[in-house]
Amino acid sequence: MDVIQINDVGKSFGKTEVLHDVSFQIKKGEIVGLIGPSGSGKTTLVKAIIGMEKVDSGNVSVFDKGMPNREILSRIGYMAQSDALYLELSAEQQMMFFAKLYKVPKNERKERILAAMKLVDLEKEMKKRVMNYSGGMKRRLSLAMALLQNPDLLVLDEPTVGIDPRLRKEIWGELTSLKEQGKSILVTTHVMDEAERCDRLVLLLDGTVLASGSPSELKERFQTDSIEAIFLQKKGSEG
């Protein structure tokens, strides 16, 4: 079964077309990277997947249901590109607020919060108010929030921006183990060594799918040794 199905999706803002006939699927237990230069339409697509943005044509379904769908949304852990955090609260209060909102059973809340915070290496900073967090800490807290309700699908929009290489490696280790538990993960990134860790990549350029496949398939198809070079090649050929 496909966890995410995107069929011929088109979207414009005013006269500007930002997505054109975009189609791809994500299966259970797969990490798919959505890769593309700034402005290529990644965030718009991610928002369409979670039902935050309406598409003009085509359709988006998640777990076989058309989005937006409230029930399905509770199975998705979403991490937005910009952190939506309550600065006045401590990280722990913030997590508790969302644990209630996500209807995490009362007797599991503390345990789940601690597990998610450990994963992003923030368990010692839980009492601190979020306003005193650094940019990278806020990013990590947003990731912990996305993991809180133990979702079947994670949709992460540039999750590792501002996160140092050591923790980035740990986070990717965790994403891989979540995938091994059968979770599906869609991640947007600009970081090419992260792209290499995905099972499959969807390369987006100017709102269209340039190519998709495993990192090694793509490199072979385009006869390059890096994913980045594929974009450079394509841009060059447009001249």
Site residues, ligand ATP (CB under 6 A): 13, 18, 36, 38-44, 81
How many Å apart are CA 194 and CA 177, to the nearest integer? Answer: 15
Which of residues 26 and 91 has its CB atom nearest to ligand ATP in the complex? 26
CB 10 within 8 A of CB 19: yes
How many Å apart are CA 4 and CA 50, to the nearest integer? Answer: 10
Could you tell me the smallest distance in angstroms from the CB atom of residue 37 to ligand ATP?
Answer: 7
Which of residues 112 and 138 has its CB atom nearest to ligand ATP in the complex? 138
Which of residues 123 and 206 has its CB atom nearest to ligand ATP in the complex? 206
Which of residues 19 and 175 has its CB atom nearest to ligand ATP in the complex? 19
How many Å apart are CA 205 and CA 113, to the nearest integer? Answer: 38
Could you tell me the smallest distance in angstroms from the CB atom of residue 10 to ligand ATP?
Answer: 13
- Backbone φ, ψ for residue 60 (5° rounding): -125, 125
| Antiparallel, parallel or unpaired: β 208-213 and 65-66 | unpaired
Which of residues 73 and 161 has its CB atom nearest to ligand ATP in the complex? 161
Could you tell me the smallest distance in angstroms from the CB atom of residue 161 to ligand ATP?
Answer: 10
Which of residues 38 and 107 has its CB atom nearest to ligand ATP in the complex? 38
Instruction: Let me know how long the chain is.
Output: 239
Could you tell me the smallest distance in angstroms from the CB atom of residue 15 to ligand ATP?
Answer: 10
How many Å apart are CA 169 and CA 121, to the nearest integer? Answer: 12
How many Å apart are CA 138 and CA 95, to the nearest integer? Answer: 12
Could you tell me the smallest distance in angstroms from the CB atom of residue 44 to ligand ATP?
Answer: 3
Which of residues 40 and 94 has its CB atom nearest to ligand ATP in the complex? 40
Could you tell me the smallest distance in angstroms from the CB atom of residue 43 to ligand ATP?
Answer: 3
Could you tell me the smallest distance in angstroms from the CB atom of residue 42 to ligand ATP?
Answer: 4
CB 3 within 8 A of CB 27: yes
CA 184 to chain centre: 10
Q: Name, in order, each residue with C-beta under 8 angstroms of 150's C-beta and a sequence gap of 6 or more.
A: 112
How would you list the strands of the sheet with 65-66, edge to edge?
Answer: 16-27, 2-13, 57-62, 65-66
